[in-house]
Amino acid sequence: MYSEKVMDHFQNPRNVGEIEDASGVGTEGNPTCGDLMTIYIKVEDNIITDIKFKTFGCGAAIATSSMITEMAIGKTIEEALKISRNDVADELEGLPPVKMHCSNLAADALRAAIADYKMKQAEKEQSKSS
């Protein structure tokens, strides 16, 4: 049912935890299945230098959270925003159709963390010019 890569990221998730002074935090959930994930990013010079996640959910939700952190670290904000839901599933060598929503959550949580980062940056800029 699951690829070896999905099982590996589920059993040995990478980048689990939270970043205390995160540059951005994004949380997404699916009320239908109960999955909930939060992604924390640290950004320096427009590059994601650290990324962590906390996920409550099924094995596929944990695997997609782990995979998206691996895919986004070291990328610029613009590059990270281009990571699609299908990219996450493809990197995991596929997900069962009933679990594709998990890759959607991971991509959406990353986008939410980046949106939070951008909002904080805009607020900093605004307070500088005030």
- Burial call 53-91: b when 16+ CB within 10 Å, e when fewer: bebebebbbbbbbbbbbebbbebebeebbebebeebbeb
Cα 57 to Cα 102: distance, rounded to the nearest angstrom: 9
Residue of 51, 102, 105, 109 marked catalytic: 102
Does residue 58 carry a catalytic annotation? no
Residue of 33, 36, 58, 100 marked catalytic: 33
Q: How many helices (H) and strands (E) does the chain have?
A: 5, 3
The set of catalytic residues is: 33, 102
